[in-house]
Amino acid sequence: MYHASIMKTKQGEEWQVLPQDAEQRLDKWLAAPERLGSRSKALQAIERGKVFVDDQEQGTNDSSRKVAAGERIRVWHDRPGSASKRYFERHDSGLHIIYEDQSLIVINKPAGLLTVPLATQPGEPSLFEQVENHLRSTRKAKLLVVHRIDRDTSGLVVFARTPAAMANLKDQFERRQPERTYLAFVCGVPREDSGTWTDMLVWDQDELRQKPVKPGQTAPSKSATLHWKVVERFERASLLEIRLVTGKRNQIRIQAELHHHPLIGERMYRDGMAVDSMINFTRQALHAWKLALEHPVTRQKLRFEAPLPADLESLQVRLGAPPKPLDNLSRSVPRRPVKVDLLPRGSKRRDRRS
């Protein structure tokens, strides 16, 4: 016997890879007679989230990975939520689906598309309706809103597929547990490499926009906080990585304005700058890049990432830096000779906090 099961229970079975089996494909290794017995069973177990290597869940893209000597490989027989097939990143029904199972679905939303239908914009297409149509084709049309991003912001959006999943996910967002990371191209060059912005905001229902609280103002306000760091400095602009602490409507956009680094392409929160004085771009240059949350059923930590869309890649090139892999963005900020003007030359600054 070449492999000894080191744990076998009603819930699953676990093995340790021996040296003579190293470098085999994961699906082939699992298909051995002393384990799952066939390639189809191995692939099905991987698809349904039942396979873990050293406590890390394996997806369909991992079926061809090579196993290493000493790795612990576990197969769950009755893991909660694993009875139905789960789908990992793919393009389907015109959607870029990052992840889908019976509890939730995560989509990479393109810019220019509403997240949900708005009564003020009847007839405008929305991501919610497109995902509903996708699910209707599978006879599972239940879809519930968990959060949303602005129409002209691209990137990750998660929807729930059951009331229980929605309640759990909404609770996570209310408790500020999900990790939400954005990429933002802003006007100007910060003097510091990183920092934190905290502002008191009030939503103006008449103008449908956030405003800073003014001295003596009695309207109910809410605190908004985010952490930022510089990823790349250009001559008159910067690429920032932004991690939200709170999640207020238009939060990044208004705080970027209040701290004199409005988003490139911004049309509403411009810090007093005329549109023609800003770097030309057709939308606010903001992308919901990463999202990490707890699965509402399995309690497993899920991490998602949406690649930078083509229009923002083109903007990055135009600003003077070649595209780079997103997994390199968190490295130390490159030092290069730059002008440290906070705003493009000729623009006027207006401090909305006064």
Residue 119, C-beta contacts closer than 8 angstroms, at least 6 positions apart: none
* Active site (catalytic) residues: 150
**Gap between the Cα atoms of 65 and 24, Å rounded:** 8
DSSP string, 286-323: EEEEEEEEE-TTT--EEEEE-PPPHHHHHHHHHHT---
Pull the structure tokens for residue 184.
Answer: 């933002």
Question: Bridge-partner residues for 183, per DSSP?
Answer: 241, 287
Residue 238, C-beta contacts closer than 8 angstroms, at least 6 positions apart: 185, 186, 188, 189, 190, 230, 231, 232, 261
Pull the structure tokens for residue 114.
Answer: 């509403």
User: Residue written as tokens 């510089």?
Assistant: 230
**Gap between the Cα atoms of 83 and 274, Å rounded:** 56
**Gap between the Cα atoms of 180 and 143, Å rounded:** 22
User: Residue written as tokens 């939520």?
Assistant: 81
**Gap between the Cα atoms of 136 and 129, Å rounded:** 10
Rg (the chain; Cα; Å): 24
In which element (H, E) is residue 167 found?
helix 163-174
Residue 245 contacts residue 226 (beta carbons within 8 Å) = yes
Single-letter amino acid code for the residue at 20: Q
**Gap between the Cα atoms of 155 and 287, Å rounded:** 5
DSSP 8-state symbol, 168 = H
